[in-house]
Amino acid sequence: MITPSAPRRHARLLTALLGVSLLLTPDIPAKAAAVEPLPTTEIAPGVHVHQGSHHAWAAHDGEDVANIGFIVGARCVAVIDTGGSPAIGQRLKAAIERVTALPVCYVINTHMHPDHVLGNVALGAGSPGPAYVAHVRLGPSLSARAPYYLEAFRREGGQALAPDAVVYPTQTVADRASLDLGGRQLELRAWPTAHTDNDLTVFDQQTGTLFTGDLLFMGHLPVIDGQLRGWLRVVGELKALDVARAVPGHGTVSDDLRQAIGPEETYLTTVLREVRAAIKAGVPIARTLDQLSATGIAGWQLADEFHRRNLTAAYAELEWED
C-alpha cells in the first residue's frame, strides 16, 4: 500500500521487531533513543497517561487511539493498556524509560480490543519479564478474534503482523485482585459483560485514580461489543465509586467520574429505550437501523463508524426480553 506514511510505518514496524529481538539482552540505550517516546502527562504522583486520538482503530494511521497509562511504584512499574500496534507499545516503552529505570512488572489489559492490546509484545523485556494480567475471559475472546484483528490491521492499516504479535495474559482475574508495585497497591476488578465480556478496571489506591478501560467513553461514541443492559448496570456501579479521578478508555482524564460518565449513560439509555420500542412495535432489525440512524448521536465523534453497529448489537440482545 503506497501512502505518504508508508515509509514511516515500515520504520516503526522494523523498530518494533528489533525491539522484540533485544528482549533477551540488556537494554541498549542507542536503540531506545531511536524510538520517539509517546507523549505522556503525569496526572497524579507516579501516574502517567497518554491520551489517544479519536479515530477508528487501524483506519488512517489509527494505531494510537486508546488511552494508555503506567503507574510507578517503589519496586516496579505497571502498564495499563499498550496501544493499537507493536510500534505504539515500543514508544510506550521509551516513554516509561524516560521517567524511570525501574522494570515493568505488570502489563494489564482492560479488555481484548486491539487498540488496547497490540502493543503488549513490546513490553516483554527483562528477566523475569512482566506478568500479563487481564480478565479471565480476555484470553478466549481475544484468541477468537485475533485473526480478524490482524487481517483488519493489514487491510486498513497496511501492515502485516505475525500471529505471535498478539500477547495473551499469563495471570487472570475472575473477580478482584491486588497487585503490589512496592509500597503501592493496585486494585483490579473484573466486571460482568458490559462493553465486552472481559472488562477490567484498575484503581490506584495511593492517588485515588481509576482506570476504567472502555467502560467509560468520552467524546468517542461508546461501542457495544458485550451487553447493553450489563453495561448500564456497571455504569450505575461506577457512579457510586468514590474516586479522585478517572482515566477513560477514550477521552480526557476527569476529576469527576459521575459527571464524566453522564453522556455515555444518556447515549446507552437512549439506545436501550428506542431499540426496545422498535422491537415492541414489531419493526424488523434492518428497518430499525434506518429509523434510529441519527438517534442519540449528537455531540459524539465516530458515530458514523459505530452507531449502527451499536443498534445492531442492542437489537440482537433486547429482542430476547419478555
Partner 1 sequence: MNPKRRMLISLPLLLAAGRMVHAQQAGATDPALDIDANPMWLQFRDSLFAGRPITTPADDVLRLEAPARAEDAAIVPIALRAQFPQSDSRYIRRIYLIIDNNPSPMGAVFDFTPASGRAEIETRVRVDAYTHMRAIAEMNDGKLFMSTRFVKASGGCSAPPGKDPQAALATLGRMRLRVEGEPVLNRPSLAQLMMSHPNHSGLAMDQLTRNYTPAHYVRLVRISYAGEPVLTAEVDFTISENPNFRFYFVPKGRGELKAEVLDSQSRRFEATLPVQPVSNPA
For partner 1, the binding residue among 41, 53, 143, 259 (CB under 8 A) is: 143
Considering CB under 8 A, how many residues would be counted as binding partner 1?
50
Residue 124 C-beta: closest distance to partner 1, Å: 15
Residue 69 C-beta: closest distance to partner 1, Å: 20
Is 271 a binder of partner 1 (CB under 8 A)?
no
For partner 1, the binding residue among 223, 234, 246, 275 (CB under 8 A) is: 223
Nearest CB to partner 1, comparing residues 89 and 226: 226
For partner 1, the binding residue among 18, 22, 32, 59 (CB under 8 A) is: 59
For partner 1, the binding residue among 129, 139, 219, 263 (CB under 8 A) is: 139
Give the separation between CA 157 and CA 150, rounded to whole angstroms.
Answer: 10
Stretch that binds partner 1, among 19-27, 39-47, 263-271, 313-321 (CB under 8 A): 313-321
Helices and strands per DSSP (H, E), number in the chain: 10, 12
SS3 for the chain is CCCCCHHHHHHHHHHHHHHHHHHHCCCCHHHHHHCCCCCCEEEECCEEEECCCCCCCCCCCCCCCCCEEEEECCCCEEEECCCCCHHHHHHHHHHHHHHCCCCEEEEECCCCCHHHHCCHHHHCCCCCCCEEEEECCHHHHHHHHHHHHHHHHHHHHCCCCCHHHCCCCCEEECCEEEEECCCCEEEEEECCCCCCCCCEEEEECCCCEEEEEEEEECCECCCCCCCHHHHHHHHHHHHCCCCCEEEEEECCCECCHHHHCHHHHHHHHHHHHHHHHHHHCCCCHHHHHHHCCCCCCCCCECHHHHHHHHHHHHHHHHCCCC
Provide the residue count of the chain: 322
- Write out the residues near Zn ion by the rule CB under 5 A: 113, 214
For partner 1, the binding residue among 23, 31, 168, 291 (CB under 8 A) is: 168
Nearest CB to partner 1, comparing residues 142 and 188: 142
Is 196 a binder of partner 1 (CB under 8 A)?
yes
Residue 294 C-beta: closest distance to partner 1, Å: 15
Residue 70 C-beta: closest distance to partner 1, Å: 23
- Cell numbers describing residue 294: 441519527
Residue 56 C-beta: closest distance to partner 1, Å: 5
Residue 269 C-beta: closest distance to Zn ion, Å: 20
Nearest CB to partner 1, comparing residues 146 and 243: 146
Nearest CB to partner 1, comparing residues 158 and 262: 158
For partner 1, the binding residue among 115, 199, 204, 265 (CB under 8 A) is: 115
Summarize as ranges the residues that interact with partner 1 (CB under 8 A): 56-59, 62, 113-115, 137, 139-156, 166, 168-169, 193, 196-197, 223, 225-227, 282, 284-286, 289, 305, 308-309, 312-313, 316, 319-320
